[in-house]
């Protein structure tokens, strides 16, 4: 079974600094999709960034980028120029796509210090 592991229950970062959230996963599939979701106190699930396993290039969305290491099954999220609004729970998730469910990690709570 696929599993997703987030080893950092909590992280903090100073405003304007950079922080990296870790995620590892286990799968026997060669083609799959990885995601980072942000869940603020409102509990909405907001898609931050996604990566397709067959793409070697790391995904980037403005201040958010990933370091995807397929062989190591690692998928970390880097947030640059951290802002107060980045404070939230961040979940790493995996799926083989289409009509298959997401498998979530346990989450990392990110605090941003002014």
Partner 1 sequence: GAVVSQHPSRVICKSGTSVKIECRSLDFQATTMFWYRQFPKQSLMLMATSNEGSKATYEQGVEKDKFLINHASLTLSTLTVTSAHPEDSSFYICSASVDRRNQPQHFGDGTRLSIL
Least Å distance, CB 32 to partner 1, is 9
**CA separation, residue 44 to residues 29, 73, 84, 109 (Å):** 29, 27, 17, 15
Residue 55, phi then psi, degrees to nearest 5? -95, 125
Q: Which stretch binds partner 1 (CB under 8 A): 11-19, 20-28, 37-45, 57-65?
A: 37-45
- DSSP label at residue 17: S
Hey, which residues between 42 and 101 contact partner 1 (CB under 8 A)?
42-45, 47, 50, 52, 91, 95-99, 101
State the nearest-atom distance from the C-beta of 36 to partner 1, in Å.
Answer: 11
**Tokens encoding 30:** 């060669």
Q: Does 105 bind partner 1 (CB under 8 A)?
A: yes
**Interaction between residue 41 and partner 1 (CB under 8 A):** no
The torsion angles phi and psi of 69, rounded to 5 degrees, stand at: -120, 95
Total residues contacting partner 1 by CB under 8 A comes to 23
Helical H segments across 1-114, by residue range: none
The whole-angstrom separation of Cα 102 and Cα 114 is: 34
Per CB under 8 A, residues contacting partner 1 are 31, 33, 35, 42-45, 47, 50, 52, 91, 95-99, 101-107
């Amino acid at each position: 079974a696929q599993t997703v592991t987030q080893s950092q229950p909590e992280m903090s970062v100073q405003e304007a600094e950079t922080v990296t959230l870790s995620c590892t996963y286990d799968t026997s599939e060669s083609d799959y999709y990885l995601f980072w979701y942000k869940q603020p106190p409102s509990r909405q699930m907001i898609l931050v960034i996604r990566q397709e396993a067959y793409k070697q290039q790391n995904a980037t969305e403005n201040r958010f980028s990933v370091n995807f290491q397929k062989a190591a099954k690692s998928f970390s999220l880097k947030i640059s120029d951290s802002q107060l609004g980045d404070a939230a729970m961040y979940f790493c998730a995996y799926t083989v796509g289409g009509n298959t469910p997401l498998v979530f990690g346990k989450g990392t709570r990110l605090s941003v210090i002014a």
